[in-house]
Amino acid sequence: MAVQGGHIRRRRNLAEDAADHIRAAILSGDLKPGERIDQDAIAERLGVSRLPVREALIALDQEGLVNNIPRRGAFVASFSREDVIDHYQLFGQVAGLAAARAVVRMDDAEVAKLVDLNRRLSNTKDVAEQERLNHEFHRTINTACASQRILSMLGLLSRSLPMPYDKLPPEWLADAEQQHSDILDAFSRRDTLAAQRSMEQHISASGRHAVEVLDRLGFFASSDEQESA
């Protein structure tokens, strides 16, 4: 096993692959809130039986992305802006706890690595590279917290976290750079409380940016229509 993305990476199976496929379709808007999920079509598209698709839908129900209704099937769960904000706040609280644990465990060389990652993030215009460096910045902190429970919870929350990097506004990067600088300042001072608060504020701010982008993409349109009906 290896640690990646702030959680323990285990050997993948067909159900996880199916869950990734369905999750991506939901978070990208290809599958709309309230839409029935065609299990046979997904199984055929992925070249698997219906069993791993059913297992995937059970897992996604637990994540809050899918509603499995007996004798009716699986449907995409409805999302509101508040749901997304709440998800990011929960993620921020757990990430903040990870930062508080990591700040007293990381040595000067590891903190210097964070500084370098943030510098490279600031200097690149390549969106894919920005995503990779941001991922590595947070992965380094999360791994250093050395808590299996925290890593597992971060993995669960991050899998269903709407974050359309390729559509985020330019100001997101500027905000992220400043917020990363605040986190780095706390790490350089070995200030546990400041590290925790800075991380929580950073993730919450990312959630607000994500909601703005999802609004522009019409992500909440179907949910709004259902609420007004």
Q: Give the span between the Cα atoms of 160 and 126, in whole angstroms.
A: 24
Check residue 223 and give its pLDDT: 52
Same domain, 58 and 90: no
Residue 158 in any domain: the answer is yes
What is the pTM assigned to this prediction? 0.78
Q: Are residues 128 and 89 in the same domain?
A: yes
CA-based nearest residue to 158, from 176, 131, 197: 131
225 within some domain: no
Give the CA diameter of the chain: 57
208 shares a domain with 130: yes
146, part of any domain: yes
> Quick one: pLDDT at residue 79?
80
Regions of the chain with pLDDT less than 50: 1-11, 226-229
- On whether both 115 and 204 belong to a single domain, the answer is yes
- Cα–Cα distance, 207 to 8 (Å, whole number): 24
The residue out of 51, 76, 101 marking a domain boundary is 76
d(CA 73, CA 127): 38
Each residue's pLDDT tens digit, 48-69: 999 999 999 999 998 888 999 9
CATH number, domain at 9? 1.10.10.10
List Cα–Cα distances, 150 to 1, 5, 36, 93, 184, in angstroms: 17, 12, 33, 11, 21
Close Cβ partners of 15 (under 8 Å, ≥ 6 residues apart): 52, 53, 55, 56, 59
In the chain, the amino acid numbered 71 is R
pLDDT at 142: 97
Overall number of domains in the chain: 2
Find the domain containing 25 and state its range. Answer: 2-76
> Residue 16: how many CA atoms within 13 Å on its side-chain side?
7
Residue 124 and residue 16 share a domain:
no
CA 95 distance to own-chain centroid: 11
Summarize pLDDT for 1-36 with one digit per residue, the tens. 333 444 444 446 899 999 999 988 887 778 888 999
